[in-house]
Structure 1
């Protein structure tokens, strides 16, 4: 039987620190801090609910991060 895969580690970083930053700066900072995937979404975007370790999501309104969450 194949071994169970180990999910990538998440940075010890709070998503709240990105709220209010401009989207480009927030994405750059998140990648520097070790997030493997950074996803910017418009308000009200329809997305799937699967959790992906190492992914940081931004809801971007008027070029700024309005909300941020893991997964």
Structure 2
């Protein structure tokens, strides 16, 4: 059997705290809190739904974060 991967821990973060922020502020805050990947998407974007540990996703409309989720 192969070795167990050593996965990085995800930040213990309140995702609701990003809703209502402007996209730039949200991205800066997420990176400062330890998220390795920050993805900004427009409403209704077609995306793959694979889970990527350490990624935070923002749905941004008119420069404001409307929704936020992990991975």
What runs of 5+ residues in structure 1 fail to find an aligned partner?
none
State the superposition RMSD in angstroms.
0.9
Alignment of 1:1-71 (within 5 A): 1-71=1-71
4+ residue segments displaced more than 6 Å: none
Q: Structure 1 length as normaliser, TM-score?
A: 0.93
Q: Distance in 2 between matches of 1:18 and 1:38?
A: 12
Q: Structure 2 length as normaliser, TM-score?
A: 0.93
Q: 1:18-44 deviations in whole A, cap 9, x for unaligned?
A: 000000000000000000100000000
